[in-house]
Amino acid sequence: MAQRLQGRTALITGSTSNIGRAIALAFGREGAHVVVSGRDETRGAEVVAQIRAGGGKADFARADLDGSPAASSALAEEARTLLGGRVDILVNNAGIYPSPSTLDTDESTFDRIYDVNVKAPFFLTQALVPGMIEAGAGAIVNLGSWITRLGVPRGSVYSSTKAAMETLTRAWASEFGSQGVRVNAISPGVIASDAWDEASRSISNAMMRGTPAGEAGAPDAIAHAAVYLASDDAEFVHGVVLDVDGGRTGVAVVAV
């Protein structure tokens, strides 16, 4: 079976755990040379080792994306070096999820969420798109969230950052599409984490009660979507926000 990302190079932010890790492993299986990035070098090394053990190519680039252009530019430059001079695919996955209520959110928390979730991917995209345009091809996959369209009582700032990323997806698709760069996004639903305890798992499954899926999804579901959007299978797909949420936003939920 042909590998859909054979010969491609990819940078995946926040790929030392959960969704990002699943995307990195999937890209490695599909033939991409992957740069795994994040703050935790030990976990990053584990992901790299797992990709290499499966016959794939991977390297680790430590990054603390604080929203500054300098931090994003530094990661872009390191990724280009590790990948032989070019980055074909960028997955803007890294994000943080403090979820205070609106009345409990101070300015420093507000700024931190926007710095990591919006400014960092904005300036990383700015740093890498010129190389994609020069090559005449590239793919960017952003991560949104189901709560951009269904309000929840906590996490208003976080949900607004994900709405910003979905809007940037459409704007960038218009801005860069004619120059060979496809830009799309994935909107995950409630996705399980290995770090969850039983209480967290129970609450999250309850949030999916009445949906077609009926329970929280797995990180691999998002990884499969990312492979599709990054590959030539999606060559005619531009500016899409692909819901991978078990039907949470697209189907009327009737609790039973």
Q: Measured in whole angstroms, how far is the alpha carbon of residue 152 from the centre of its chain?
A: 21
Q: Report residues of the chain scoring pLDDT below 70.
A: 1, 196, 255-256
Residue 101 forms part of a structural domain: yes
Domain count, the chain: 1
Residue 81 forms part of a structural domain: yes
> How far is residue 255's CA from residue 221's CA, in Å, rounded to a whole number?
24
Q: Is 97 a catalytic residue?
A: no
* Residue 221, pLDDT score: 97
Residue length of the chain: 256
Hey, which residues does 201 pair with through a beta bridge? none
Residue 149 forms part of a structural domain: yes
Residue 207 forms part of a structural domain: no
Catalytic residue chosen out of the listed positions 97, 114, 158, 228: 158
Q: What burial letters (b/e) apply to 122-150, b meaning 16+ CB within 10 Å?
A: bbbbebbbebbeeeebbbbbbbbbbbbbe
* Residue 1, pLDDT score: 59
| Secondary structure of residue 206 in the 3-state scheme | helix
> How far is residue 187's CA from residue 222's CA, in Å, rounded to a whole number?
9
> Which domain CATH number covers 14?
3.40.50.720
CB 36 within 8 A of CB 60: yes
